[in-house]
Amino acid sequence: MSSSFKWGIIGCGLIAPKFFQALENTGEGHVVAAASKSMRRARRIQQKLGIECAYGSYAEMLEHEKLDAVYIANTHAEHYQSAKLCFEHNLPVLVEKAFTRNEAEAEELIDLAGMKNLMLMEAMWTRFNPATVKIRELLADGAIGEVIRLKAAFGVKMPLSMKTMPWNRMYNPYLAGGALLDLGVYPLAYARMVFGRRPERIGGSAKMAWTGVDKTSEYHLDYGGGRRADLMTSFVEQRPRDAVITGTKGIITVPHFSGADRLTLTRPGGAPEVIECGANGFEHEILEFHRCLREGLTESPGMPLSETLDVMRTADALRTLWGMKYPGE
C-alpha cells in the first residue's frame, strides 16, 4: 500500500475543506478529485482548494480516477447510495456522520463492505482525538470505578433566517435533517463508548420544527442497575458542550467534549487533576483510516462498525418514539 494515499471527495459542502486541510496536515495523502451533483459547486471547491479534478457526477469521478479511498461528505440521506456506489468500484470508504438515515441502511453497507473485504468507517472524528483516547484508557483502567452516569449536551444556535430555512438541510426531512442525526450522534456515540453497550431502555422527547424534524431533542438511555445517560442536542439553543462521566470512585469532566483538548479527573479525597491531552482535529481519524488500510483491516478497532450500528439503532428507536420518519424510508 502506498505511503501517499489518493482520496476522492463526494459532496462539496462546508465540511469538505476541513477534511482536505486535515489530510494535507497528515502528510500522508492528497485529495485528487472532488465530485458534486452540481458541477458549479465542484468547480468552486476545486478552485478554492487547488484540487486537480472536479466532477459534476459521483459515478464519473469513480470511473475516471485511480483512488485509494473516498470520503463521503454529502447529506445524510445520500450516504447510503454514495457508499454503495463506491463499493461497486471496490473502493474503501470513510462516511461522515451520521453514517446513514437508519439502521437498515447501515446494516446493508456493513454487509456489503464485508462481502467485498473493503475498509469502511464512520467519520466519528472525536473518537480518535487525544482526549477521547485518554478517557477510554482511564475507564479501562478503572480510574473512576464503574460508570453509573453520563450527562452530555451538544447545543448550538445556528444562524438560519426564515427566508433560507425551508431549504436548509437542517430543516429538510428529505435530506434527513434535524438535530438528532446532525448533532445528536455525538452524545449517542459517546454514551456507546462510555457504557460499552446498547441501552436496555430508551426514552426521550423532541421539539419539532414545522418541517417535521427535531430542532431540540433529549435522550434518556437506561443501562440497568441505576446506570443511565441523559443527553441533549439542539441547533436552535446554545448549550455548553460538556460531558460529565460519573463513576463509583470518581468523576471525569470533559469541557466541549466533542473537541476537547483537556479533561479533569476528580476522586474522593483528592484535588481535581487537570489532564492536558493535546490538539484535536480530523487528522487523527484520517491517520487511523490510513493505518487500517496499510494493515489490511476492514474496520477500525477504535470505531467498530458494531458501535456505528448500535447508534443508528438507538436513533431509530428515538424517532419511533417521536413519530418522526424521513420521506422515502
Among 53, 78, 80, 79, CA closest to 67: 53
Segments of 124-272 assigned E as strands: 147-157, 201-208, 214-224, 227-234, 236-239, 243-247, 250-254, 262-266
Output the CA torsion sign for 230, 127, 17, 262. Answer: positive
Give the C-alpha separation, 45 to 34, whole Å: 8
Largest separation between any pair of C-alpha atoms in the chain: 63
Cβ atoms 21, 54 nearer than 8 A: no
Which residues, other chains included, contact 170 with Cβ-Cβ below 8 Å and sequence gap of 6+?
Answer: 158, 160, 177, 178, 179, 182, 213, 215, 235
CATH class held by domain 130-280? alpha beta
Which residues, other chains included, contact 93 with Cβ-Cβ below 8 Å and sequence gap of 6+?
Answer: 69, 70, 71, 72, 83, 86, 87, 113, 118, 119, 120, 121
Expressed in angstroms, the distance from the first to the final Cα of the chain is 38
- Beta-carbon neighbour count of residue 297 at 10 Å? 15
C-alpha grid cell, residue 299: 474496520
**pLDDT at residue 126, as a whole number:** 95
CATH architecture label of 5-125+284-297: 3-Layer(aba) Sandwich (3.40)
Give the C-alpha separation, 137 to 243, whole Å: 17
Q: Which residue has the cell 437498515?
A: 104
C-alpha grid cell, residue 166: 425551508
Helix or strand (DSSP H, E) at 7: strand 5-10
Checking phi first, is residue 142 left (phi over 0); if not, alpha (psi -120 to 50) or beta? left
**pLDDT at residue 109, as a whole number:** 99
C-alpha grid cell, residue 262: 483537556
Range(s) within the chain of domains with CATH label 3.30.360.10 = 130-280
Range(s) within the chain of domains with CATH label 3.40.50.720 = 5-125+284-297
Per residue of the chain (329 residues), give pLDDT as tens.
556 999 999 999 999 999 999 999 999 999 999 999 999 999 999 999 999 999 999 999 999 999 999 999 999 999 999 999 999 999 999 999 999 999 999 999 999 999 999 999 999 999 999 999 999 999 999 999 999 999 999 999 987 655 566 678 899 999 999 999 999 999 999 999 999 999 999 999 999 999 999 999 999 999 999 999 999 999 999 988 999 999 999 999 999 999 899 999 999 988 999 999 988 899 999 999 999 999 999 999 999 999 999 999 999 999 999 999 999 88
pTM of the predicted structure, to 2 decimals = 0.95
Give the C-alpha separation, 13 to 73, whole Å: 7
Q: How many residues does the chain have?
A: 329
Give the C-alpha separation, 19 to 183, whole Å: 18
Q: What are phi and psi of 219, to 5 degrees?
A: -130, 130
Segments of 124-226 assigned E as strands: 147-157, 201-208, 214-224
